[in-house]
Amino acid sequence: MQNNQALQLQTSNSNLPTIANAGVLAQIRLDEEHYPHYRNIAPQARMKWVAGQIQYLASISRIRDFDAREPILMSAALDEMISADKDMMDLTLPEIADAFKSGVFGLFGEFYGLSAPNLFGFIRSFLESEKKRDAAALVIKSRTDAYMERTAAERAARQRAIHEEIEVAKRAGTFVPTGQVWFKPQMVNDAISSKEHREKVRQQAREILNQQ
């Protein structure tokens, strides 16, 4: 999904997922297709989104004298400040919305009013929150587990390929079990061109034979 499509899905607050805990936040962080990071959204689009968030916050805070131009001015100022902070630029829209709403509801200390500096402070508090730290640990674990699974699958595939080549060499009569694996079927010779790669294949073949 393109970033502008993802943005459209999140224009309404009803479409923003509620970040109830670190686990939910980790899933959002891992789903960049649906939840792009702030830095990957076009400036005009993200400022429009921030302005909409500010208008929403003014409504739930019952700020009656909130001028319609203020969200636009505040969003421009906020975008400039966020753009200078790499950690904030890495946030997703649901995270920023959660930071804003948590701040307005006093979860980051007493709420003193809706202003660009206060909203910036809410984002900073969110970055330092326990929920954010726990989610970061879950994301790292998920990516590490996925890497290990992928690596194990690739290793198993290589071992199967080597075993199949050994069997082909046996059937062709070109495999000689002399303590060193030395077989040269034509297809293997064509595929293997470097001394280093040949030695690696032989070592893996020896390991497979020792396991039989």
pLDDT tens, position by position, 2-38: 455 555 545 455 578 889 999 999 999 999 889 999 9
Tell me which residue of 127, 122, 129, 197 sits closest to 161, measured CA to CA: 197
More confident residue, 61 or 204: 61
SS (H, E, C) 155-185: HHHHHHHHHHHHHHHHHHCCEEECCCEEECC
Q: Does residue 211 surpass a pLDDT of 70?
A: no
Model confidence over 51-100: pLDDT tens digits?
999 999 999 988 877 888 899 999 999 999 999 999 999 999 999 999 99
Report the share of the chain in percent with pLDDT over 90.
50
Q: What pLDDT band is residue 145 in, cutting at 50, 70 and 90?
A: confident
More confident: 153 or 184? 153
